[in-house]
Structure 1
Amino acid sequence: MLVSVHDDPPILVCADLQVEYLTPGRRHVILDGEVATSRCLELLTLWRSNLWPVMHLKRIAQAAWFNPSSRLTDWIAEAKPRPGEMIFEHPLPSAYSSSRFTDYMTNIRNVRCVLTGFSLDETILATVVEGFHRSHRYQVIGDAVACRQAGMSEAAAYKASVVNVIANFATIQSSAELIRNGGAVAV
């Protein structure tokens, strides 16, 4: 069953679309980042052109490898939040580690979120699992998410494994299917 987005549009959640993940030579670089980025930007364009709600998550970890004052934590230029779009910074993998995010999600009537972005094996996984336990519904766009290789020789297999785990807690959909349905999400 699909829900009309014009009556009650889902929130597009862009997770950790930061320069760090696309900079060659960096520890957390995403090898297929261009593909996921282009899908994220397509969906961001659809949401913005329809004036549907957009939320941006930004990881601001305090670990030694993550320097929040570095330019590497800046938004990818094309995905930079615009005025009126929500921004939540979170110190731990789950976006729910931001008290502002938790308050917002707790106080909206019908929580339906379309999740895209980077840090699939950290931010997206942790947020979806925690949201599931709070009865918040997430839809993850499988071709608009990416994660670093995590020391494995086969990045695609690692990503597929993480997506399979996430499928226990959220619906998985392709960007083409979401765009074809005009942003309607399965419930």
Structure 2
Amino acid sequence: MLTSNTDDPPILVCADLQVEYLTPGRRHVILDGEAATARCLELLMLWRDNLWPVMHLKRIAQAAWFNPASRLTDWIAETKPRPGEMTFEHPLPSAYSSARFVDYMSNIRNVRCVLVGFSLDETILATAVDGFHRSHRYQVVADAVACRQPGAGDAAAYKHAVVNVIGNFATIQSSAELIRTSGAVAV
């Protein structure tokens, strides 16, 4: 089903676009970070140019490996939220672990969100599943998401497997397809 963006555009949800995931030598560094960041920026520019709603999620975990006082939890400079863009901090993988996020999502009609960003195997997966169980529609842009390296095995195969699992709870689309149909987004 195609819906016009000019009538009711989906919310672009930028998940965990934080320095932590791009810093070499860090435990949670992602392999395809530059490519995913470029795709996220392309989509972010499209949303901003059209004045469509943008939401930023920021993981602030309490675990020892994720120190909220560290500069590593800062936004990637190019993706930093602008005035008027919503931001939500969440302590657990799902954005729904933020009471403010739950309140916001429960008070908008026709919830449609396009998910991009990092932490594919945590934040994006958990948020898509939680949203599915609340009848919120999510779309994940496969080439604008990334996840950390798996402990063992092929990182590309791991990402592909996670995207396939998310496909049970959300629509999967490429950034090129999304940009090409920017006047109407499949949901």
TM-score by length of 1: 0.99
1:102-132 C-alpha deviation (Å, 9 max, x unpaired)? 0000110110000000000000000000000
Report the Cα offset of residue 182 of structure 1.
1.3
User: Within the alignment, does 1:164 sit opposite 2:164 as a pair?
Assistant: yes
In the alignment, the residues of structure 2 paired with residue 98 and residue 153 of structure 1 have an alpha-carbon distance, to the nearest angstrom, of 33
Q: Which consecutive aligned stretches of 4+ in structure 1 deviate over 4 angstroms post-superposition?
A: none
State how far apart, in whole Å, the 2-side matches of 1:153 and 1:131 are: 30
- Contact 1:59/1:93, CA 8 A, preserved across alignment: yes
Deviation digits for residues 53-73 of structure 1, max 9, x if unmatched? 000000000000000010000
| Secondary structure of the corresponding residue to residue 87 of structure 2 | strand
Change (3 A) 1:92 1:183: farther
RMSD: 0.7
Partners of 2:92 and 2:30 in 1: how far apart?
20
2:184 & 2:15 partners in 1: Cα distance? 20
Q: 1:170 deviation in Å?
A: 0.2
- How many Å apart are 1:153 and its aligned residue? 2.9
Contact 2:11 2:53 in 1 (8 A): yes
TM-score, length of structure 2 as denominator length: 0.99
Q: How does 1:27-106 map to 2 (within 5 A)?
A: 27-106=27-106
Q: Which amino acid aligns with 1:60?
A: I
Distance 1:153 1:166 in 2: 20
Unaligned stretches of 5+ residues in structure 1: none
Q: Which residue of 2 aligns with 1:19?
A: 19
How far is the alpha carbon of 1:186 from its aligned partner? Answer: 1.4
Q: Separation in 2 of the partners of 1:185 and 1:145?
A: 18
C-alpha separation between the residues in 1 aligned to 2:150 and 2:108? 35
**Residues 13 and 116 in structure 2, CA contact (< 8 A), matched pair in contact too:** yes
1:26 and 1:183 map into 2 onto residues whose CA distance is: 39
Are the equivalent residues in 1 in contact too, given 2:6–2:183 (CA < 8 A)? no
CA shift digits 1:83-117 (9 cap, x unpaired): 00000000000000000000000110110000000
Distance in 2 between residues matched to 1:184 and 1:115, nearest whole Å:
16
Matched, 1:178 2:178: yes
Q: Which amino acid aligns with 1:22?
A: L
State percent identity of aligned pairs. 86
Deviation, 1:169, is 0.2
Which consecutive unaligned segments of at least 5 residues does structure 2 have? none
Aligned to 2:128: 128
Alignment partner of 1:154 is 2:154: yes
Aligned residues: 187
- The SS at the match of 2:13 is strand
Q: Secondary structure at the match of 2:30?
A: coil
Query: How far apart are residue 150 of structure 1 and its match?
Result: 2.0
